[in-house]
Structure 1
Amino acid sequence: MHVALSAGPEFREVDYLTQVAFVADLIHETGARRVLELGCGLGFNILELARLCPQVEIVGTDLLERHVRKASARLRRHANVSVLVGSHDRLPAEIGTFDIIFAVETLCYASDRPAVAASIAQVLAPGGLLVIFDAERASNFSSLSRDTQLAAMLYEAVTVVEDGFGAADAWADAYKSARLMTQRIEDMSHATIPGLRRLYRYGARYFSDPAVRATTALLPWALKTNAVGALLGAYLMEGDFEGGDGSTSPALRYRLRVCSKQRSR
Structure 2
Amino acid sequence: MNFDLNAAKAFDVSLPVGPERPAPLEQALGLVDRVFGIDTILSEKHAEIVSKYYRQSMPGYAALYNRWQCMHLALHEPHLDEKAAFFAQAQVVSDLLTNAPGQRVLELGCGLGANTLHLAAHHPGTDFTGLDLMAEHVARARAKAGNLPNASFRCASFDALPEDAEGFDVIFAVETLCYAQSTDDVALGLARLLRPGGWVVIFDAHRKEGFEAFPAALVTAARLYETTTAVTRGFHQDGTWERALTAAGLVAASESITEKTHQGLATLHRRATKAFVDPKWRLLLRTMPRYFARNAVAGLLGYHVCFGDGPDPDPERGVVAYQQIMARKAVG
Please indicate, yes or no, whether the TM-score normalized by the shorter chain is above 0.5: yes
Q: 1:115 aligns with which of 185, 190, 195?
A: 185
Q: What is the CA-CA distance between 1:96 and the residue it aligns to?
A: 2.6
Q: What is the CA-CA distance between 1:86 and the residue it aligns to?
A: 1.4
Q: Given the superposition, is the C-alpha separation of residues 11 and 189 from structure 1 closer, same or farther in structure 2, using an over 3 Å criterion?
A: farther
Match of residue 175 from structure 1? 245
Moved more, 184-193 or 30-39: 30-39
Identity of aligned residues (%): 37
* SS, match of residue 87 in structure 2: helix
Q: What is the CA-CA distance between 1:136 and the residue it aligns to?
A: 0.6
Structure 1 distance, partners of 2:287, 2:81, is 29
Structure 1 distance, partners of 2:135, 2:80, is 36
Match of residue 206 from structure 1? 275
How many equivalent pairs are there?
A: 261
Q: What is the CA-CA distance between 1:8 and the residue it aligns to?
A: 2.5
Q: What is the CA-CA distance between 1:88 and the residue it aligns to?
A: 0.9
Structure 2 distance, partners of 1:263, 1:10, is 34
* SS, match of residue 287 in structure 2: coil
- Asked whether 1:255 is paired with 2:329, we answer no
Q: What is the CA-CA distance between 1:178 and the residue it aligns to?
A: 1.1
Could you list the per-position Cα deviations for residues 146-203 of structure 1 after superposition, in whole angstroms to 9, with x for gaps in the alignment? Answer: 2211110111000011221111111233212211111x32210000000000000011
Match of residue 145 from structure 2? 75
Structure 2 distance, partners of 1:90, 1:163, is 19
Match of residue 293 from structure 2? 224
- Asked whether 1:238 is paired with 2:238, we answer no
Structure 2 distance, partners of 1:107, 1:138, is 16
Q: Given the superposition, is the C-alpha separation of residues 13 and 240 from structure 1 closer, same or farther in structure 2, using an over 3 Å criterion?
A: farther
* SS, match of residue 192 in structure 1: helix
Q: Given the superposition, is the C-alpha separation of residues 20 and 245 from structure 1 closer, same or farther in structure 2, using an over 3 Å criterion?
A: closer
* SS, match of residue 8 in structure 1: coil
Contact 1:42 1:67 in 2 (8 A): yes
Structure 2 distance, partners of 1:112, 1:95, is 20
Contact 2:99 2:126 in 1 (8 A): no
Contact 1:9 1:194 in 2 (8 A): no
RMSD (CA atoms): 2.2
Q: Given the superposition, is the C-alpha separation of residues 137 and 32 from structure 1 closer, same or farther in structure 2, using an over 3 Å criterion?
A: farther
Contact 1:93 1:122 in 2 (8 A): no
Q: Given the superposition, is the C-alpha separation of residues 222 and 33 from structure 1 closer, same or farther in structure 2, using an over 3 Å criterion?
A: same
Aligned-partner residue type, residue 78 of structure 2:
G
TM norm structure 1: 0.91
Structure 1 distance, partners of 2:212, 2:99, is 40
Structure 1 segments of 4 or more deviating over 3 A?
28-32, 243-246
* SS, match of residue 130 in structure 1: strand
Contact 1:11 1:195 in 2 (8 A): no
Aligned-partner residue type, residue 106 of structure 1:
T
Match of residue 232 from structure 2? 162
Structure 2's unaligned 5+ residue stretches are: 1-70
Match of residue 28 from structure 2? none
Match of residue 141 from structure 1? 211
Match of residue 47 from structure 1? 117
Match of residue 96 from structure 1? 166
Contact 1:206 1:213 in 2 (8 A): yes
Contact 1:104 1:134 in 2 (8 A): yes
Structure 2 distance, partners of 1:191, 1:154, is 22
The structure where strand makes up a greater share of residues is 1
Q: Given the superposition, is the C-alpha separation of residues 11 and 151 from structure 1 closer, same or farther in structure 2, using an over 3 Å criterion?
A: farther
Q: Given the superposition, is the C-alpha separation of residues 112 and 245 from structure 1 closer, same or farther in structure 2, using an over 3 Å criterion?
A: closer
